[in-house]
Amino acid sequence: MAEIGIKELKATASAVVDSVEDGAAYVVTKRGRPAAVLLPVEEAEDLVLANADEYVRMRRQARAAHAKGRSVKLGDLD
């Protein structure tokens, strides 16, 4: 993921947004330290959904069930 300083971002915002629309991602730095991330909308949605409370709860339940041997192999689902 490329880094871009906030001053450079301000000067080239339109071009940066165009490149993000095309799939690029940036870490925005402020005084040399990471401050934000710019991602294409699709990637941001995936990130938000992957960390949504309900999904995290379901993932933890599935891992616990697997650890207790209560899961099945994919091929056995026929």
Determine the pLDDT at residue 74.
81
Mean pLDDT of 2-29: 97
Residue showing tokens 């099945």: 72
- Does residue 24 or residue 76 have the better pLDDT? 24
Please state, for a pLDDT cut of 70, what percent of the chain lies above it. 99
Cα 54 from Cα 60, distance rounded (Å): 10
Instruction: Summarize pLDDT for 30-65 with one digit per residue, the tens.
Output: 999 999 999 999 898 888 888 899 988 998 999 999
Above 90 in pLDDT, residue 21?
yes
